Chains A and B, each alone.
Chain A
Amino acid sequence: MNLRIETIGEVSCVVPVGRLDFDAAPGFQEALERLLGGAGKPPAAVIIDGTGLEYVSSAGLRAFLLGARAAQRSGVAFALCALQPAVREVFELSGFSRIIPVHADRASALAQTQPGRA
């Protein structure tokens, strides 16, 4: 899996591309933790753009969960958007879409994510 981080004002958009399986999950989790708790000033909000995310297993879900918790601790808003149907199904069946906000696309995620409120 590849990871791209785009900065839009005070918001960091994280764009994972590929498969978030047990193999890729630790690296993804580390990247989120660096973004949220690294040396620099944390962003006001983190939005994960799922346009290129093809597959998520429970290991990937755990990485999202730990990212959401790290965001909560740092007072950073955290949301997902543009999930592909298979990935969306995993989020819904697991109940994760009830604890992490999921938006249809990046524009609505940016519009509806209140910086600093998880």
Chain B
Amino acid sequence: MTARRAAVPADAAQLSVLMRFLQESATAVGLDAAQVSTFELALEEIFMNIVMHGSRPGIAPRVEVSLHRDAESVTMTVEDDGPEFDPLSLPPPDVMASLADQRVGGLGVFLVRKMMDSVRYARIAGRNQLRMSKHLGG
């Protein structure tokens, strides 16, 4: 029942700080390389979403990340105090059309939903909270 926690401002330069936190925590709770890679991808996608969409001029939200392991699963929670935004409301990207089209939106969140076993959003006490869980094998 280990929970580990880190907090940074929503600034792209801080992603490396969070990645170090994740790698250390993931090793400490006993995840294998493939599981670590899944959580790294989820953290990059969700954090960069907050950096790009949650900030107003001069104000960067504060982002808090925690990793928790119990017997069956590992859960990463990302919370921020930016404007209310549910990333799960983004429509899935149209990948087939994207070779001709201008851009692919919502690709990061789409990947996170595919790679995690459960992803839940809640707005709690003025904060966005995204909880992402992956079952452990066996």
Contacts and interface: CB of A to CB of B under 8 A. Distances in A.
B95 A86 contact: no
B83 interface: no
B99 A90 contact: no
A39 interface: no
Contact of B111 (A68, A72, A86, A94): A94
A93 interface: yes
A57 B99 contact: no
A90 B107 contact: no
Interface residues of B, number: 23
B108 A86 contact: no
Interface residues of A, number: 23
A59 interface: yes
A56 to B, nearest CB: 8
Interface string B106-119: 01101100110000
Contacts of A90: 41, 111
Residue among B33, B34, B107 with the most chain A CB within 10 A? B107
Interface stretch (A4-12, A44-52, A95-103, A105-113): A95-103
A94 B18 CA distance: 24
B115 A58 contact: no
A57 B111 CA distance: 9
Contacts of B108: 57-59
Contacts of B41: 55, 57, 90
Interface of B: 12, 15, 33-34, 37, 40-41, 44-45, 48, 95-96, 98-100, 103-104, 107-108, 110-111, 114-115
